[in-house]
Chains A and B, each alone.
Chain A
């Protein structure tokens, strides 16, 4: 009995000192996280319950206004519009666009000649390494009235120049975002596809599986983890896209491309309602969280 007691005592003590040690070693990381991640987040939540404003009498007396910002939000037609626009933007540019196209390019490039892979790879990645503002301006120039695309159209047909950014604003920003972001998905899928052992596919071919069957039953399940991670990263990234849309259309015409980040900016810095702006940012956070949970649940992957 005595012996056992002293045994547990030492192991307890050892455990305790291990805990102390690990917390000492982790503390720099904790402090950094606390200062640069948790504090702004907590502040955002706090500010969303205040009347924080950039100018006017409100700017001088900051006070808690309870759920007023959120009540205002539920009655705000423009907010519902923005949520819808955001979902459309994310669905088409992130999920259907970047992820699907990225997978397709990576899949088609698998096992192809190295030079070919390099050329295509560089072309796709070039869009990704270009700064967002530059991408936006390139697209504005490309789609403009006397831009490249319209020059081509008018020179080969009788169609009059189309004001793409005004007549098809959402399509324009979606295409621009796909163009810019696909490289990320492509690279992620390339790595995953390269890791699939050739033997598995060879065995399937021996068993008489068609190409579609191989893709559907072997390739996709084997890269499921990458798909989930990639979907999540791309979705969260796209939810936050501001520069591209703001530079290309400014959220307009009307409210046609007013996604949540642009709307948040407008409320916070154009209408000077910082409190309301932070409340909108919480909506973006919530949508991001919902997407992440759905991905994890449906694709049954532990992250």
Chain B
């Protein structure tokens, strides 16, 4: 009897002790992270890390050194989240839910910003922006991308981008295509693709993002580039309704079908559906003549500059960048989607004042130009755009020109869900499991289910 009760007592107390240990170590941890580095305030910056050739890390490391020598009271901590683009957003959303895990500064894609602001994850930056003269230097329509539905500013834009066709000049020469090439309709793209296919070149004629594994890149770099070139849009921001019946939807999917299945001028499925498609294509095949044309973002220039993943000595001689044509050459003859990233402060961040100081420094004229140069993106400050290093960057001209007919993604909480359906439709057509019509019908059903019958047209 007594032995038994002693045993029970031990069991009980061990459970209690275990519980207490857990609580203690948690407390220990949080006090630790606050106190590390003596009196310095640690400011944790989170962005989507891409491993070895991380251009943002290269930029941030330079920034960190400068900032810390000017601001001895702040310790900038680089804390990238290594994840695919899709996973990055859910991981960030999860960390922002608690003050124990929230970073101090977070890199937000402008299309997620409004969703995350609506979810209450982000702090309003209105009071900081009001007394900040530099704010006027930011390009006006890009500011709207970081303004929430309630009219408050939730992020400071850092980069924007445009999309177009990268092409390899050697592959073009082998196929008898001009060195300065500019397609004027989708038909021109097909023609160039077939010329490469019929030439001696082994190169894949034309490539674009089609795999669900590549997430948002499929929606934005492929489908929306096509759809907005037909003159239709994904979402009517005035009536707040989604396009589910447009002929443009079918036409866009038909483009995918033509490239991948009908004319067979696309990459093999094992390249196209691979989650490492992006890096294989832009860092290996394109500079080495393994592919003729790649529909992708202008930021890939960052790969080919000094310090990038696949540096080239004279980018202009090897590669070209053409704006993407509208379907039948409708005015102004080219189209691009524009996106971009911004810095935001989570509502649960511990030292918002200090976070703002870091963002302010990152958003200075020089720092913005640094980032655009290192990363290969387009700057969002008018004065940074005049920086000589920026202007001298190869292929900057067509990339900037494309922005003249730039479209932005729908500012709607449901866009990420609709985007998934776009990816499903594109992949289904690319892999040949659905015809463009079938995929458009299934897209219509899925989107109607997401946004409700009354919000479609």
A interface vs B, CB < 8 Å?
A: 21, 24-25, 27-28, 31-32, 53-60, 72, 75-78, 144-145, 163, 165-167, 250-256, 266, 269-273
Contact = CB atoms under 8 A, between A and B. Distances in A.
Contacts of B428: 254-255
A57 B273 contact: no
Contacts of A144: 270
Contacts of A54: 90, 93-94, 119
B420 A270 contact: yes
A166 B417 contact: no
14 contacts: A25-B8, A53-B119, A55-B116, A56-B115, A56-B119, A58-B119, A58-B413, A163-B269, A254-B424, A256-B433, A266-B420, A270-B215, A271-B420, A272-B90
Nearest to A167: B269
Given A56-B119, A59-B120, A254-B433, A271 B270 contact: no
Contacts of B413: 55-58
Contacts of B115: 55-56, 272
B12 A56 contact: no
Given A253-B273, A272-B416, A55 B12 contact: no
B213 A252 contact: yes
A250 B213 contact: yes
Interface string B401-425: 0000000000001101100100010
Interface string B428-443: 1001011000000010
B427 A56 contact: no
Given A252-B431, A253-B431, A271-B416, A75 B449 contact: yes
A75 B93 CA distance: 29
B82 to A, nearest CB: 15
B216 to A, nearest CB: 10
B269 A254 contact: no
B212 A28 contact: no
A163 B116 CA distance: 40
A32 B118 CA distance: 37
B268 interface: yes
Contacts of A53: 119
Contacts of B424: 254-255
A272 B434 contact: no
**Residue with the greatest number of chain B CB neighbours at <10 A, chosen from A53, A57, A60:** A57
B449 A166 contact: no
A124 B445 CA distance: 46
B212 A250 contact: yes
Interface in B304-338: none
A49 to B, nearest CB: 19
B15 interface: yes
Interface in B198-225: 211-213, 215
B270 A24 contact: no
Contacts of A269: 87, 90
Interface in B51-87: 86-87
Contact of B417 (A251, A252, A254, A271): A271
A255 B434 CA distance: 11
**Residue with the greatest number of chain A CB neighbours at <10 A, chosen from B15, B119, B269, B427:** B119
B385 interface: no
Contact of B89 (A55, A77, A166, A254): A55
Contacts of A58: 119, 413
Task: Give chain B's interface residue range (CB within 8 Å of chain A).
Answer: 35 or more
B112 interface: yes
Contacts of B268: 145, 163
A257 B40 CA distance: 51
Contacts of A57: 118-119, 413
Given A56-B416, A58-B119, 15 more contacts: A24-B8, A28-B12, A54-B90, A55-B121, A55-B413, A56-B115, A56-B119, A60-B118, A77-B445, A165-B270, A250-B213, A252-B211, A252-B213, A256-B433, A270-B215
Nearest to B94: A54
- 8 smallest beta-carbon distances between A and B, as pairs: A59-B119, A56-B413, A253-B431, A254-B433, A57-B118, A166-B269, A163-B270, A269-B90
Nearest to B433: A254
Contacts of A165: 270
B345 to A, nearest CB: 16
A246 B15 CA distance: 37
A270 B94 CA distance: 13
A63 to B, nearest CB: 14
Contacts of B191: none
B275 interface: yes
B106 to A, nearest CB: 13
A255 B421 CA distance: 12
A64 B414 CA distance: 19
**Residue with the greatest number of chain A CB neighbours at <10 A, chosen from B87, B118, B434, B442:** B118
B137 interface: no
B11 interface: yes
Contact of B15 (A28, A75, A255, A271): A28
B269 A28 contact: no
A252 B4 CA distance: 57
Contacts of A31: 15
B416 A253 contact: no
Contact of B449 (A72, A251, A270): A72
A60 B96 CA distance: 13
A58 to B, nearest CB: 7
Contacts of B15: 28, 31-32
A166 to B, nearest CB: 4
Contact of B112 (A55, A255, A271): A55
Contact of A166 (B112, B120, B270): B270
A260 B417 CA distance: 18
A38 to B, nearest CB: 17
Interface string B268-295: 1110010100000000000000000000
Interface string B108-149: 000010011011110000000000000000000000000000
A252 B431 CA distance: 10
B98 to A, nearest CB: 13
A278 to B, nearest CB: 15
Contacts of B269: 163, 166-167, 253
A60 B93 contact: no
Nearest to B450: A271
